[in-house]
Amino acid sequence: MNNLLKRAHSPVLLLLSFLIVASCYNQKEDEKINRPVVIGYVGGFHGLLDTERIQVEKLTHINYAFVNIVDGKAFLTNEKTDSINFRKLNELKLKNRELKILISIGGWAWSENFSDAVLTDSSRKVFAKTSVDIIRKYDLDGVDIDWEYPGMEGEEGNVFRPEDKENYTLMFAALREELDQMEKETGSPKLLTTAVAGFGEYLQHTDMKMAASYLDYVNLMTYDLFVPDISVHHAGLYASDGYDSNKNADHCVKAFIAAGVPVEKLVMGLPFYGRSFTVESHATQVVGQPYSAKSYIDGYGYIKDSLVNQRGFQAFRDDRARVPYIYNAETGQMISYDDEQSVEEKCNYVLKNKMAGVMFWEYDSDPKGYLLGAIHDTFN
């Protein structure tokens, strides 16, 4: 009798086993699809890339920085080097089949020609076509726009005008049209993303709701959030008690959502570098103080290995802003940066608020992968 029951029920058990295995597989696939993006900016401006040291399994996207704009066209200033870098980056897909590689156009130093390049319908078509021609030629996956800034002065001497607000959106429409055509040719999806300033004034000079309709991701540069003349946490997650400002990541995210950008397209930016402010030596209050000098500290690997609780620096943490800083009382130098703990908190913020993921500037600033490891551990 027992053997008969076993034989009678075995097909049912096999079916149940199959369904359980299939369900687990589908759940893993869904988790993979829904896993937050990790976008790393890689500096082609450094020259030839050593792609062997890129921990590609911890990345979903690489944004190649930067492509210039010359005579209204997207332009590879050093095509010989860039072409080798593109080939080597594409080879990383052998290690990570899901990796996407985008060109990033502009940046702080090469944004002066955006306004002219997208001023008219015909000029936008030229700019869009030459941008997409680069990814077509090198078999890449998309275009990232880093215009600093539409309708606002970025680097001294940059061209900007009121028309930038409308033309900013029209630029993305033209790019999306060209990318859609390439999708038809190749049969594979092509991405369009942008890096945007991490402060509210940017939203006054753009129509981010309309722009986002053409975009896959909006990369929030939630760093370099300066306040005139005083030392700050340049990448605070929340506001600090040390000074009065709404320049922080949480405020930025909420402002872009209020402006109509879907939260699932928002990507939080993380700095892999620090910002130094020289304040009064032996100050009892360091954050929010007038400074006499400001500089860029590249990068976190150097800060962690050579400065934290070394060379006269003492480590502190702002429990409200959720970020660290170090201070040398003898020299008056205060350095603001992200560490593994603050990166983990920001990644958890991304998960809690169902954002798209994180991006960081830039890979060479953390060669040992301290912060990338923290991102990976938090998301997996």
Q: What DSSP assignment string belongs to 113-177?
A: THHHHTSSHHHHHHHHHHHHHHHHHTT--EEEEE-S-TTS--STT----TTHHHHHHHHHHHHHH
DSSP SS3 for 361? strand
Question: Same structural domain for residues 229 and 363?
Answer: yes
Q: Are residues 74 and 171 in the same domain?
A: yes
Helix residue spans in 148-307 (DSSP H) = 164-186, 208-212, 249-258, 300-302
Shared-domain flag, residues 253 and 169:
yes
Q: Dig out the tokens for 186 from the structure.
A: 């190749």
Q: Give the number of other CB atoms < 10 A from CB of residue 244.
A: 10
**Do 98 and 27 sit in the same domain of this protein?**
no
Are residues 61 and 139 both part of a single domain?
yes
Does 57 reside within a domain?
Answer: yes
What is the pLDDT, as a whole number, of residue 34? 78
The closest of 354, 351, 355 to 379, measured between CA atoms, is 351
Show the tokens assigned to 79.
């095509």
Assign 235 to helix, strand or coil. Answer: coil
Q: What is the residue type of 351? A: L
361, β-bridge pairs: 271
Distance of alpha carbon 133 from alpha carbon 198, whole angstroms = 30
* Domain total in the chain: 2
User: Scanning the structure block, which residue is given the tokens 């306040």?
Assistant: 227
Each of the 380 residues of the chain gets a pLDDT tens digit; together they read 444 444 445 555 545 555 554 454 444 444 445 799 999 999 999 999 999 999 999 999 999 999 999 999 999 999 999 999 999 999 999 999 999 999 999 999 999 999 999 999 999 999 999 999 999 999 999 999 999 999 999 999 999 999 999 999 999 999 999 999 999 999 999 999 999 999 999 999 999 999 999 999 999 999 999 999 999 999 999 999 999 999 999 999 999 999 999 999 999 999 999 999 999 999 999 999 999 999 999 999 999 999 999 999 999 999 999 999 999 999 999 999 999 999 999 999 999 999 999 999 999 999 999 999 999 999 99
> 300 in a domain, yes or no?
no
Q: Tally the C-alpha atoms within 13 A of residue 202's C-alpha that lie toward its C-beta.
A: 26
Asked whether residue 96 is domain-assigned, the answer is yes
- The answer to whether position 373 is within a domain reads yes
45 and 23 in one domain?
no
Cα–Cα distance for residue pair 145/149, rounded to 1 Å: 11
Are residues 22 and 64 both part of a single domain?
no
Q: What is the CATH number of the domain that holds 136?
A: 3.20.20.80
Q: How far is CA 279 from CA 286, 291, 312, 335, in A?
A: 7, 5, 15, 11
pLDDT of residue 22: 47
Whether 324 is in a domain gets the answer: no
Domain span at residue 166 reads: 37-272+343-379
Residues 138 and 25 in one domain: no
DSSP-derived letter for residue 36 is P
Q: Are residues 147 and 172 in the same domain?
A: yes
Q: Is residue 304 part of a domain?
A: no
Q: Do 42 and 142 fall into the same domain?
A: yes
On whether both 74 and 10 belong to a single domain, the answer is no
Preceding amide of 362 cis, omega within 30: yes
Indicate whether 122 belongs to any domain. yes
- Which residue shows structure tokens 């620090």? 274
* pLDDT confidence of residue 374: 98
Whole-number Å distance between alpha carbons of 212 and 267 = 12
Whether 301 is in a domain gets the answer no
In this structure, are 3 and 138 located in the same domain?
A: no
Instruction: Determine the pLDDT at residue 58.
Output: 98
